[in-house]
Amino acid sequence: MSRPEYQSDRHIVYSCKYHIVWYPKRRPVLVNGVEKRLKEILLKIAAEFEATVIELEVMPDHVHLLCEVDPQFGVHWLVRHMKERSSRLLQSEFPWPRSRLSTLWTHAYFLTTGGGAPPAAIKQYIEQQKDV
């Protein structure tokens, strides 16, 4: 059995990997260039919050994100910022989602810590979503 890779700062050593899935209010709208721009936005926000993106896939009707976040910061803050800022930026850059939606995302999202599944297995699952 391999040891998980750990992150650390001055006060804590951790290994907190989260699989997060969220959906737009109307589906499917993450197409025609929106998906590429969304990935850019989400990666930038993750870097700002010092979250490690392990895997990211944007489907026409949902987003899969496997990431590691400092537990002192809280994964809910990362998701909140990703959804709020990406909604605002995408609606300002792409006119068709704005005309159909007041906000891009639903309030809900799915979150799991991976339960005992190795991060490599979750990463592979997310990578294969486009093939399904």
Mind listing the pLDDT tens digit for each residue in 38-64?
Answer: 999 999 999 999 999 999 999 999 999
Cα 60 from Cα 34, distance rounded (Å): 9
What local confidence, expressed as pLDDT, does residue 1 receive? 35
State phi, psi for 27 to the nearest 5 degrees.
-115, 150
Q: Can you give the pLDDT at residue 82?
A: 97
Domain 13-131: assigned CATH number: 3.30.70.1290
**pLDDT, tens digit, 9 for 90 and up, residues 64-81:** 999 999 888 889 999 999
pLDDT of 4: 57
Lookup: tokens for 37:
């721009």
Residue pair 67/123 in contact (Cβ under 8 Å)? The answer is: no
Return the higher-pLDDT residue of 82 and 95.
Answer: 82
Instruction: Give the burial class of 9: count Cβ atoms within 10 A of its Cβ; 0-12 exposed, 13-18 middle, 19 or more buried.
Output: exposed
125 carries an active-site annotation: yes
Residue matched to tokens 């989260």: 18
pLDDT of res. 23: 92
Task: Output 20 or 117, whichever has higher pLDDT.
Answer: 20
Answer whether 72's CB lies under 8 Å from 60's CB.
no
User: Which of 6, 18, 109, 125 is flagged as catalytic?
Assistant: 125
- CB proximity list for 132: less than 8 A, separation 6 or greater: none
Q: What does residue 126 show for φ and ψ, rounded to 5 degrees? A: -65, -45
